[in-house]
Amino acid sequence: MPTLLSSLIPAAFVLIWATGFVAARYVAPLADPLAFVAARLALVALVLAGLALALRARWPREPAGWRNGLLAGVLMQGIYVAGVFWSVHRGLPSGIAALVGSLQPLLTAAASEPLLGERVGPKRWAGIGLGFLGAGLVLLPKLGAVDAAGIPPVALAVCFAAMLAMTAGTLWQKRHGAGADLVTNACLQFVGGAAFALPLALLAGETRLEPSLPLGLGMAWSVLVNSVAGILLLMALIRRGAVAGVASLLFLVPPVSAAIAYAMFGEALTPVQIAGMAVAAAGVGLASGRR
């Protein structure tokens, strides 16, 4: 049973993480992206605070513990989620946004050895390189194209910046959050993310939220599944395994996200892009394998 559970946790994480990019596409016509993100992060913080109180979870005793959780939240929730939602709202396909996020292992692995002392062997580097090659096959042919399958350069750049923030947050969480309580640390992360996203939405003038059943369903899914379940699974995976190996799971997210987006919205990829995603996903076998 423990072995089965250990196998299901990564699969559940991939599926949940993939639907997050689809949710960004789903709510795009109903709300400004930054307004939606700010509301989502604040609601998740409230849910996790209630869960922490019900479980009598341990809050940090030192100011450093609060600081570390809040800073990780600004990076992993505020900047990353806001950047992804904004990019998808500006025309970046859900599958492409997921693919950019999956490039995180390249930077994570490069930084995990000098910063965390985790050895990244040749096999894992080969898998990460293969994933990066696949990403190039997806992005380069359609970068800046004017047709429906084109990739808006500005939206792509913002999504890349969000991916960099997620990488930094993952490394920070691994280095400073190992001894923190899972629930209270996640709550602090969403408080930090909301504290970043709310002023950003107000400064950008993005405050539109159209009350409707579809928006309510999208918010409920984003809060309870993508955020609460997703962040707890991510933090559990980070705590259990090497950062480079955990992050390599993100290579599996783009094909799953693209398949869901195709079924729900008709977002199609070219044969070259599909082949690139297959190459990127193949890198998981090397990047995640035992050394």
Q: What is the pLDDT of residues 91-120, one digit of tens each?
A: 888 888 888 887 776 677 667 666 666 676
Is the CB of residue 226 less than 8 Å from the CB of residue 186?
Answer: no
Q: Find, among 32, 36, 23, the residue nearest to 261 by Cα.
A: 23
- State the pLDDT confidence band at 129, using cuts at 50, 70 and 90: confident
Q: Report pLDDT for 200.
A: 95
Q: Which residues contact 65 (CB under 8 A, 6 or more apart)?
A: 59, 180
- State the pLDDT confidence band at 236, using cuts at 50, 70 and 90: confident
How many Å apart are CA 287 and CA 239, to the nearest integer?
18
Q: Which residues pair with 137 in a beta bridge?
A: none
- The per-residue pLDDT for range 211-224, each reduced to its tens digit, is 999 999 999 999 99
Domain range for 175 is 2-287
Q: Report pLDDT for 146.
A: 45
Which tokens hold the place of 53?
A: 């109180």
What's the total number of domains in the chain? 1
Q: Which residues contact 198 (CB under 8 A, 6 or more apart)?
A: 38, 42
- State the pLDDT confidence band at 290, using cuts at 50, 70 and 90: very low
- State the pLDDT confidence band at 251, using cuts at 50, 70 and 90: low
- The per-residue pLDDT for range 31-88, each reduced to its tens digit, is 999 999 999 999 999 999 999 999 899 999 889 889 999 999 999 999 999 999 999 9
